[in-house]
Chain A
Amino acid sequence: MKNKKAQLHMTETIAVIFIFFILVVFGMIFYAQYQKVAFKEKQEEILSTRAVQTTLRALYLSELICSQGEAEPEDNCIDLIKAEAVQAIFQKYLSNYYFHLFGYGRLTLHEVYPQEKELVLYEKRRVENLANESTFMMVSLRDDRLSVGTEPSYAYGYLLVEVYS
């Protein structure tokens, strides 16, 4: 009788521990799921921050800005002659320099007026891009080759900055 009672207690204890571990496993699964979602959200947040950083960097890049001699450079303006050269330079020094500036992403200059043109300034893709974030910035495009006298010639367009995770 005593033995049976002890066995019953033993089974009870094992059952309690079993249920306890089941609950722990449930908790861990729930926590892992939560972490997965939180990680994804964090990734998205980092990607958005990177998109803003890359856009800012691109807009103020010495390689692209419209300089005016000793005066302050023009705001939101891209020098088209420099932009043409930049394509090759970014590619040439991509891995050891410009990748540190823009990371995985793509910078495309779109002219919308007077003509419609597209110029890919920078591009670095992963084998598989998981997500991307795009930012647009309206810019004026100065082409000194088309200047009339000292008056510069401008086109209008936008800079599309895409960053890949």
Chain B
Amino acid sequence: MEVSFNWIYVLIAGAVILLFFVGIVAKQKIVSEDSLGQEVLRTMGTIFTGAEVSEKTKNLINTEGLIDYTFYFRCENGLGEYGLQGRGQKIDLPITPLFSPREVKTGQILTWSLPYKLPFKVIDLLIVSSINTKYYLLGEGNLARTFMDSAAGFNLEKIDNINQPLDVGNNFQVRVIDLSGNQIQEGEAVPPGFRNLDPDKVSAVVFFQEGDLQLVQYYEKDKEERWHKLGSPVALLAFNGEKDALLTAALFAADGMQLQCNLQKILRRLSYLQEIYQYKLEELERYSLGLNLDCRNAFNALKNSWDIYRVDSVSCQTYLANILTARISNPCPTLLFSARNLQRDNKNLQQAGNCVALY
């Protein structure tokens, strides 16, 4: 009787001790997974900051240690975020315009920072992609050549037409960049080589022009293996033509929503910069009073362009902020004209003699 009592006692005590340690291990597991997640995101943050400031530089970052993680990138209503898929951890990106696929799962991340000017430098656009995101380029001409040269280093292949045999290999996702503007059509079948990939891993962007306006339309594969339009075409504020940073970035953006959202971020920053340049303009106006007539004339012309430019940028910003309910036509292209006038007058001021330019 005594012996059996001792055994029960030992069993209960042992079970309690075991449970105690199991509890500690489980708790530690959650804590270390959380802190690993945070560490991973912090590392990504550092990578992005470094990439942001190394203007016009492409960086290939080894992320072999993060290969099991899927990063997601999201941007809505001017507020971006990125994080680890399936976990609660995320980092807000309210400032940096980040153009990337919706998801990235890779051992090598590619970052590319491009300065966006309208007409002065506003912000650096950050393009994030991966070595296992395959880009197929369609189209001829200057734009295609410029893009092919500038995007060297990305997993990019020039193809003659969308119907040629394409092998996606081990790539995580594919993106077709159609600069000809007519090879990807709504309802057309996607290339047979893309059929093994999930619908959200096959996308296309088509670039086309309407008058002076440059637009992009995004597509995704649907369940019937056909191209399906994602939203409406988005007008670009591409100030520098085919070499414009925004045009390049738009070709890497996941969809129109990400592009619009980043445009909102850009215009927000632009409005703050305009307040700074307004102060500089007023300071230079006082300074220009003592200058020669040519200088003062050039300065007055610049001042007029500046006023129009400010009004146009407010209209564009308001439109983008209310894009879902806006019933007016897009006023943003007008901003491009006034920015060009401002650029011209700033150049004239530089060339007019002993004058100081605004930017």
Contacts and interface: CB of A to CB of B under 8 A. Distances in A.
Contacts of A57: 49, 52-53
A85 B269 CA distance: 15
A150 B356 CA distance: 7
B273 A73 contact: no
Given A9-B6, A145-B283, 10 more contacts: A57-B52, A65-B121, A67-B120, A81-B279, A81-B280, A85-B280, A89-B275, A97-B94, A100-B92, A100-B95
Contacts of A79: 280
B272 A97 contact: yes
B121 A63 contact: no
Contact of B357 (A9, A69, A73, A149): A69
A49 interface: yes
A149 B354 contact: yes
Contacts of B2: 2, 6
A144 interface: yes
A62 interface: yes
A8 interface: no
B125 to A, nearest CB: 12
A33 interface: no
Q: Is the interface of A mostly helix, strand, loop or mixed?
A: helix
B140 interface: no
B347 A69 contact: yes
B243 to A, nearest CB: 12
6 contacts: A60-B124, A79-B280, A85-B278, A97-B272, A145-B283, A145-B286
B53 A67 contact: no
Interface of A: 2, 6, 9-10, 13, 17, 20, 46, 49, 53, 56-57, 59-60, 62-63, 65, 67, 69-70, 73, 79, 81-82, 84-86, 89, 93, 97, 100-101, 144-145, 147, 149-150, 152
B359 A69 contact: yes
A69 B269 contact: no
B268 A97 contact: yes
Given A56-B50, A67-B121, A89-B276, A145 B287 contact: yes
B46 interface: yes
A69 B348 CA distance: 11
Which of B10, B55, B120, B123 neighbours the largest number of chain A CB atoms within 10 Å of its CB? B120
B350 interface: yes
A74 to B, nearest CB: 12
Given A56-B50, A62-B273, A86-B276, A81 B55 contact: no
A46 B13 CA distance: 43
A100 B273 CA distance: 17
B49 A100 contact: no
Contact of B284 (A46, A59, A145): A145
A6 B9 CA distance: 13
Contacts of B287: 144-145
Nearest to B117: A70
Given A56-B50, A97-B94, A100-B92, A85 B356 contact: no
A62 B287 CA distance: 23
Nearest to B10: A13
The 8 A-B residue pairs whose C-beta atoms are closest, nearest first, are A85-B279, A144-B356, A149-B354, A85-B276, A67-B359, A53-B49, A60-B53, A56-B53
A17 B13 contact: yes
A53 B54 CA distance: 12
Contacts of A147: 356
Nearest to B21: A24
A105 B144 CA distance: 45
B354 A46 contact: no
Contacts of A65: 121
Interface in B278-323: 278-280, 283-284, 286-287
A82 B280 CA distance: 6
B29 interface: no
A45 B235 CA distance: 43
Nearest to B5: A6
Nearest to B278: A85
A125 B277 CA distance: 28
Interface in B223-262: none
B346 interface: yes
A81 B357 contact: no
Nearest to B48: A53
